[in-house]
Amino acid sequence: MTIPSLGAGTFRLQGQAAFDSVRNALEVGYRAIDTAQIYGNEAEVGQGVAGSGIARKDLFLTTKVWNENLAGDRLVASLEESLEKLRTDYVDLALIHWPLSKVPVEEYMVALATARERGLARQIGVSNFNIDYTRRAIAAVGAAQIATNQIELSPYLQNRKLVEFLQGQGIHITSYMTLGYGKVLEDPVIAAIAERRKATPAQVALAWAMQLGYAVIPSSTRRENLASNLLAATLVLSEQEMAEIAALERNGRMVNPEGLAPVWDV
């Protein structure tokens, strides 16, 4: 199975905003939706999907297991609860949201693999894992079982050391925060490329990531932005433009929760 290159994220979307975003995303053409237990919007995502009229087999749903559910005797049950909220029998991808030091990596990776074997998830993977934690996950279940590592990655944070390691292991990369909370959209290099291409800065940043082989999951509450971002899949940047964006690296990490984040690879 493959992971769609462009999906709609739902981070920070609550209640009606989450439902409307999912509904609009599906109506304009998205077929991949990303959520998480901690987002508190799985029910609204499920409602939006159920009301779309799109066959389940044509959708790709991702959720992420939160830390309080990582103990081996809790993980599978929590994923079953997520499926109930999402109104589906399975997710296409289930991820460990953050590595947790107080629970052995082997315990929650094996539990996640068990959930997959039981049909609760078609694929499994991780999120926010650095090289060390990814090595431990590989030791627990094997690299072939880890479909992706969903990491913060943008023109300002290109995570090259981790990317090189993941690609060497055959683990797909999913980029979140690709637009850097909008900061990337104000960059003059991105803006100049967008002007030349008659594209939006968001389309340029998303196209850059997809052209490198990453999946992207931008979110928006505005239907027009969702539709516009979808067009990034048709934008092909030149080698020179890719090089210009590569030069924007500045270790601009924006998601680094104290007590939760691992020691990042730099």
CA distances from 183 to 86, 197, 240 (A): 32, 20, 22
* Binding site residue list: 97
Residue 125's SS3 state is strand
Residue 187 near residue 201 (C-beta atoms within 8 A): yes
Interatomic CA distance for residues 89 and 39, integer angstroms: 20
* Binding site residue list for substrate: 97
Q: Which residue in 39, 108, 133, 176 is the catalytic one?
A: 39
Task: Name the one residue in this structure whose structure tokens are 């052995």.
Answer: 104
Residue 158 near residue 127 (C-beta atoms within 8 A): no
Structure-token pair, residue 120: 């609760």
Residues with Cβ within 8 Å of 202's Cβ and at least 6 positions away in sequence, in order, are: 179, 185, 218, 225, 228, 229, 232
Has 39 been annotated as catalytic? yes
Interatomic CA distance for residues 44 and 164, integer angstroms: 36
Residue 45's SS3 state is helix
Edge-to-edge strand list for the sheet holding 8-9? 8-9, 32-34, 60-65, 91-96, 121-127, 146-152, 172-176, 215-216
Residue 6's SS3 state is strand
Interatomic CA distance for residues 28 and 79, integer angstroms: 29
Active-site positions read 39
